[in-house]
Amino acid sequence: MKKILLMLILGTLLLTACAANDGHMAGTDIEAHDFWARSAMAGGNGAAYMLLHNHSAKDDALTGASSDVAETVEIHLSQMKADGTMEMIKQEAIALPADGEVELKPGSYHVMLIGLKQDIKAGDEFSLTLHFTNHEDITLTIPVMDTQNMGGSGMDGHMP
């Protein structure tokens, strides 16, 4: 009986939280979806991708990430140079506008894992913590995918 009551109370709280744009929720409400990383070898670099939703009415930004699997973790943007080659530019932050979303994906924004301390192979998982301007840290368990088996997308398979 106590359990049921507690669940009812929790359910009501959750409903209230979702319905309120700001109200008593001090922070923001950010969710990560569809996160994955490409397989990569120890000593090399890897990249992680995800979809970030900002469900709040407050602007926020992804300001960095950390993980035990790499020496350094940076936020990068891949973009085409005038000569047709791709370059990666380190970003101080990725804006997450209120009620907005941003996709980290191959050929665009990504979390760059620099100097992998271990192989990350398809089927592995590792922990990645995201840092934001306003929101508290979010730690994700990132599944590793083999990019060879990802099907024939037109994406730049060799570049993060």
Task: Give the binding site for Cu ion (CB under 5 A).
Answer: 76, 88, 112, 160
> What is the closest distance, in whole angstroms, from the C-beta atom of residue 23 to Cu ion in the complex?
38
Instruction: Between 23 and 43, name the residue whose CB sits nearer to Cu ion.
Output: 43
Give the shortest CB-65-to-Cu ion separation in angstroms. Answer: 12
Q: Which is nearer to Cu ion, 88 or 138 (CB)?
A: 88
Residue 11 C-beta: closest distance to Cu ion, Å: 42
Which positions ≥6 away from 130 have C-beta within 8 Å? 32, 62, 64, 65, 111, 137, 138, 139, 140
Per DSSP, what are the bridge partners of residue 136? none
* Closer residue to Cu ion in complex, CB, 28/78: 78
Strand partners, 101: 53
Task: Select the residue whose beta carbon is closest to Cu ion and give its number.
Answer: 76
Judged by beta carbon, residue 57 or residue 77, the one nearer Cu ion is: 77
What does the alpha-carbon distance between residue 119 and residue 45 come to, in Å, rounded to a whole number?
10
Among 146, 147, 131, residue whose Cα is nearest residue 93:
131
